Amino acid sequence: MKRRIPQYSELRELVQFKAFDPDRRRARLAKANTIADLRNTARRRVPTAAFEYVDGGSFAEHSLRRNRDAFDAVEFNPHVLRDVAAVDLRTTIAGAHAALPVGIAPTGLTRLMHAEGEVAGAQAAASFGIPFSLSTMGTVSIEEVAAEAPDADRWFQLYLWKDRPRSLELIRRAEAAGFGALVVTVDTPVSGARYRDTRNGMTLPPTLTAKTILDASYRPE
Terminal Cα distance for the chain, rounded: 59
- Number of H helices and E strands in the chain, helices first, is 10, 5
| C-beta contacts of 189-193 below 8 A and 24+ residues apart | 192/57, 192/58, 192/59, 193/58, 193/59
Among the ranges 23-32, 138-147, 192-201, which has the highest mean pLDDT value? 138-147
> Which tens digits make up the pLDDT trace of 149-165?
999 999 999 998 888 99
What confidence score (pLDDT) does residue 123 get? 97
What's the pLDDT band for 2 if we cut at 50, 70, 90?
low
Provide the residue ranges of all domains of the chain, joining segments of one domain with +: 25-74+90-217
pLDDT band at 10 (very low <50, low <70, confident <90, very high): low
- pLDDT over 90 at 126, yes or no: yes
Return the pLDDT at 219: 78
Q: With a cut of 70, say whether residue 122 has pLDDT above it.
A: yes
CB atoms under 10 Å from CB of 121, counted, come to 24
Residue 142 in this model has a pLDDT that exceeds 70:
yes
Mean pLDDT check: name the lowest of 79-93, 95-109, 203-217.
203-217
d(CA 189, CA 160): 9
On whether the pTM is more than 0.85, the answer is no
Q: Tell me the pLDDT of the chain averaged across its residues.
A: 89
Residue 149: per-residue pLDDT: 96
One of 3.20.20.70, 3.90.1150.10, 3.10.129.10, 2.40.30.30 is the CATH number of 25-74+90-217, namely 3.20.20.70
| pLDDT score at 8 | 63
Cα 187 to Cα 193: distance, rounded to the nearest angstrom: 14
